[in-house]
């Protein structure tokens, strides 16, 4: 009887402990989530508004890459530069194929004046 009680106790302990240690932790995939990092990007501001004229999204187009701008206090200021080129610094996060930037500072990039053609 004593051996049976010891055996039952060991089985119960194993039933509790083994799944805890055997459970795999999901590996963080680079394609789904990446650590946030401070970056400076240069691109064109694009503002999306609803029918009432309220801003719903602000994007920063950097070549073929589109960054969704977080609509925090600094990000909302980009609305005034719709269609213009800016250099923005902020925290960039990539989730899957979507990149977003929480802007901490930005400045408009002025186009270089065109030189007159040489004769």
- Strands 98-108 and 37-49: what pairing? unpaired
More confident residue, 59 or 34: 59
Share of the chain above pLDDT 90, in %: 56
> What's the burial of 42, exposed, middle or buried (CB within 10 Å: 0-12/13-18/19+)?
middle
Share of the chain above pLDDT 70, in %: 71
CA 105 from chain centre, in angstroms, equals 17
pLDDT at position 76 over 90:
yes
Dump pLDDT digits (tens) for 82-94: 999 999 999 999 9
pLDDT of residue 11: 64
* CATH architecture, range 37-108: Beta Barrel (2.40)
Q: Quick one: tokens of 59?
A: 């994007």
CA angle 72/75/95 to nearest 5° reads: 80
Dump pLDDT digits (tens) for 13-58: 766 755 555 555 555 444 445 567 789 999 999 999 999 999 999 9
């Amino acid at each position: 009887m004593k051996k049976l009680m010891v055996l039952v106790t060991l089985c119960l302990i194993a039933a509790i402990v083994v799944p805890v240690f055997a459970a795999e932790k999901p590996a963080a995939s680079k394609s789904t989530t990446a650590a946030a990092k401070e970056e400076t990007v240069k691109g064109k501001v694009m503002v999306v508004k609803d029918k009432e004229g309220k801003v719903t999204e602000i994007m920063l187009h950097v070549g073929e890459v589109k960054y969704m701008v977080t609509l925090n206090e600094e990000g909302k200021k980009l609305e005034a530069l719709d269609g213009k080129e800016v250099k923005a610094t902020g925290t960039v996060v990539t989730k899957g194929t979507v990149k977003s930037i929480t802007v901490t500072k930005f400045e408009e990039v002025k186009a270089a004046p065109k030189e007159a053609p040489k004769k």
